[in-house]
Structure 1
Amino acid sequence: MKRKLLAKIEGGLWGLLVGDAVGVPYEFHPARELPPREQIDMFPPPGFSRSYAHVPCGTWSDDGAQALCLTESLIERREWDPYNFSRKLLAWASRGYLAADGKVFDIGIQTGEALRRLSAGATPYESGLAGERNNGNGGLMRSLPLALLLEGSDARLVAVAHEQCAITHAHPRSQVCCALYCLWARRELDGVDGAWERATADLEALYANSPVHLRELREVVLPTAEQTPGGTGYVVDALHSARAACAETSYRNVVIAAVALGNDTDTTACLAGGIAGIRFGRTGIPPEWRENLRGRHILDEVLVRLRKLPTFA
């Protein structure tokens, strides 16, 4: 049982990093400007004007690096520690900690402002931006390691998902999206049929005594499922875009479907790829994508430390 769980967790980490890396060259392009689906790959077809032309294909972005920061913090502390995690985020932003090449080539506006506040002395409980317009997907994109590694009840997972998100994105809507994604991933880890629907129902119940979060869930987050996903950086659309991509039946097709939505392609593919990695495992990821993932030694070192945790010993 431990071995099976570990394989799913490792699949999730591989899945989010590979999905992120596949999506990077296509970021900022609307769907109409992308190659046909059969040509979307880690290496775009000749002639495609890829984003970050100076960044080699196969490189994960800020999404993957921040998710690794969270993973490392959870392994190191064996518990949620917002101060430890915040220090790792600052190390990433300042010196490329856990970036594939030790270089930061992308950072969201809201995340950058929150990290500047942290650097100036704000606590993790004070640094996040909480306005209506501060609902980008920067807190969501890195949240999967909580579902993979945080032990305890669903209520604990939801509370920590809120805290993790709020370090940069403190609006309740962003917190709800993080909580729902983490519960969805936990249900996938558990092998539950209808994992999304189960997570949604469970989150509604958990929000019984949290009217602000319940209102955001019922009136904003869930109704958006009726709209066509656009792969944008808006946190609610990012979540539903990932869910739509996960309707595919293989890891490759999930990631390609995520990228094909256009716009914030690396984040959509990171979110969807993490779920698909849990479902299909590391071996379900195309071998050529795994082999061409840059910075694999960083992931390998993280996984060595993960396997030594008492949970898997």
Structure 2
Amino acid sequence: MYSTSYLLLQAMTAVAVGDALGVPVQFTDRPTLLKNPVDQMIGNGAFDVPAGTWSDDTSLTLATLASLSQGFNLDDMMMRYRQWYDFGDYTPFGKSFDIGQTTQRAINRYKHGVPPEKCGGATESDNGNGSLMRVMPLAFYLLSQFPNYRFNSDVANICERFSSLTHRHPRSLLATSILVNVTTTVILSPNKYAMLKSIREVLDYYQELPKFKDEIKYFNQMDDPSYYRKPNSEVQSSGYVIDTLNSVFWCLMNSEKYVSAVKKAVNMGNDSDTIASITSMLGSLLYAPVSFPPEWAVLLKGKTHIKWAVALALQTTYFDSKRVSIDKRLKPFLLNKNSSDKQNIFVLIFGSIHCFNYHT
């Protein structure tokens, strides 16, 4: 297993890489992408932004990471989402864009004094993927706070409250819990069997709760290996939580390497940025260690934003970098054996972590 510092930086960067690859072709239909598949960072597109620009997926994940670095405080988290929406915090160019309607309405409710956990949309039409896109830091936070992590009522409660900030329909709460548990699982046990098992673990838990009993049927295919033998033409890639999870898991189950999974996700079309962002994040953990293709990495905007957010998080007790010992591949790049943990974290993040030269 790799160090928390390595995996957190890798996963946060992966969120941005997938997001940036998908932004220019968001809303593009799949037949068009089959004819002209995307495999590089390109610019323009629906939002007319430079190549390598990331959107709400990465911004909200950075805001979540910054907030969880201070502990689990939903008021603080929602305030940071508001700062992103109103003032362009957590963006590469100081301006927010690509804001989901359900998330936008939730932030506006918060501005008008609604308690954070009541801000999320609660109707069936509010089951977009806006809570899924920002879960990655929560998975790392939970692993640091629950040393013997397993999915239980305490974890479920945190996942549900987290989702409720923007999406509080039971289907979104369940979807968020699934993605959080899958993420923690691939951090601890990076293999596809464990990933599918972690989905069933969450479904079995919620099956016993009356509020969620009618929702289970929407998710049952997700831990069934036969589902992933479907052609991609039968897998929908919209922003609906079920479609998003189906697409992400389909791309991972039908790939053996990080890059191929991400390319599949981008070219699913429709909500390509979020699907590619989540696929990239999970793929970076499932296939760790990965090296991002240089032609992607060089064009990625806001890399310093990402590095600082991760470096600051790792200095707190909420993202415990001592939970897993530093991987032997990283040790040659540390300052020296007598350097402080904080010094070593900054060396890993701002220098040597990009020295790996293998590609997956």
Do the two structures share a fold, i.e. TM-score over 0.5? yes
Superposition CA RMSD, Å: 2.0
**Aligned positions of 1:282-297 closer than 5 A:** 283-297=290-304
Q: Is the contact made by 1:12 and 1:281 (CA closer than 8 Å) also made in structure 2? A: no
Q: Distance in 1 between matches of 2:195 and 2:157?
A: 19
Contact 1:129 1:170 in 2 (8 A): yes
Letter in 2 for 1:171: H
In structure 2, what is the Cα distance between the partners aligned to 1:39 and 1:220?
30
Report the CA distance between 1:281 and its aligned residue: 4.1
Q: CA deviation at 1:127?
A: 0.9
Partner SS for 1:133: helix
Within the candidate set 248, 256, 269, 1:262 is matched to: 269
The equivalent residue for 2:278 is 271
Distance 2:34 2:196 in 1: 33
Cα 1:192–1:39 shift into 2, 3 Å: closer
Return the letter of the residue paired with 1:265: S
Structure 1 residue 97, shift from structure 2 partner: 0.8
Q: Secondary structure at the match of 2:200?
A: helix
Q: Residues 49-198 of structure 1: matches in 2 within 5 Å? A: 50-53=45-48, 55-77=49-71, 80-150=72-142, 151-152=145-146, 153=149, 154-155=151-152, 156-193=154-191, 194-198=193-197
Identity rate, percent: 27
1:7-47 Cα offsets, whole Å, 9 max, x none, are: 22222111111101110000001111226476432127xxx
Q: Which whole-Å CA distance do the structure 1 matches of 2:7 and 2:54 have between them?
A: 20
TM-score, scaled relative to structure 2:
0.79
For 2:247 and 2:37, how far apart are their aligned partners in 1? 19
- Judged with a 3 Å threshold, the aligned counterparts in structure 2 of structure 1 residues 293 and 221 are, in CA distance, closer, same or farther, namely same
Against the structure 1 CA distance between its residues 24 and 209, is the aligned structure 2 distance closer, same or farther, given a 3 Å change threshold?
A: same
Decide which structure has the larger Cα Rg and report it.
Answer: 2
> Is the 8 Å Cα contact of residues 52 and 299 (structure 2) preserved in structure 1?
yes
Gaps of 5+ in 1: none
The answer to whether the Cα contact below 8 Å between 1:15 and 1:282 also exists between their aligned partners in 2 is no
Cα distance in 2 between the residues matched to 1:8 and 1:42:
23
Q: Which amino acid aligns with 1:236?
A: I
Q: Give the total of aligned pairs.
A: 304
Judge which range, 230-239 or 303-312, deviates more.
303-312
TM-score (norm 1): 0.90
Distance 1:115 1:200, change over 3 A: same
Residues 1:192 and 1:57: Cα distance change in structure 2 (over 3 Å): closer
Q: Deviations over 1:74-116 (max 9, x none)?
A: 1122xx2111100000000000110111111210111111111
Query: 1:114·1:127 contact (CA, 8 Å) conserved in 2?
Result: yes
Check whether the contact 2:237–2:269 (CA below 8 A) recurs between aligned residues.
Answer: yes
Give the C-alpha shift of residue 129 in structure 1.
Answer: 1.0
Partner of 1:232: 238
Secondary structure at the aligned position of 1:51 is classed as: helix
Q: State the alpha-carbon separation in 1 of the partners of residues 200 and 187 from structure 2.
A: 17
Bigger mean CA offset, 303-312 vs 110-119 = 303-312
Unaligned runs of 5+ in 2: 322-340, 342-360
CA distance in 2, matches of 1:242, 1:135: 16
Taking the aligned partners of 1:127 and 1:270, their CA distance within structure 2 comes to 25
Cα distance change of structure 1 residues 260 and 284 upon mapping to structure 2, 3 Å threshold: same
4+ runs of 1 displaced by more than 3 Å? 35-39, 223-227, 280-283
- Say whether the 8 Å CA contact 1:130–1:169 is kept in structure 2: yes
* Corresponding residue of 1:305: 312
Which residue identity does 1:220 align to in structure 2?
A: Y
The 1:36/1:10 distance shift into structure 2, 3 A limit, reads farther
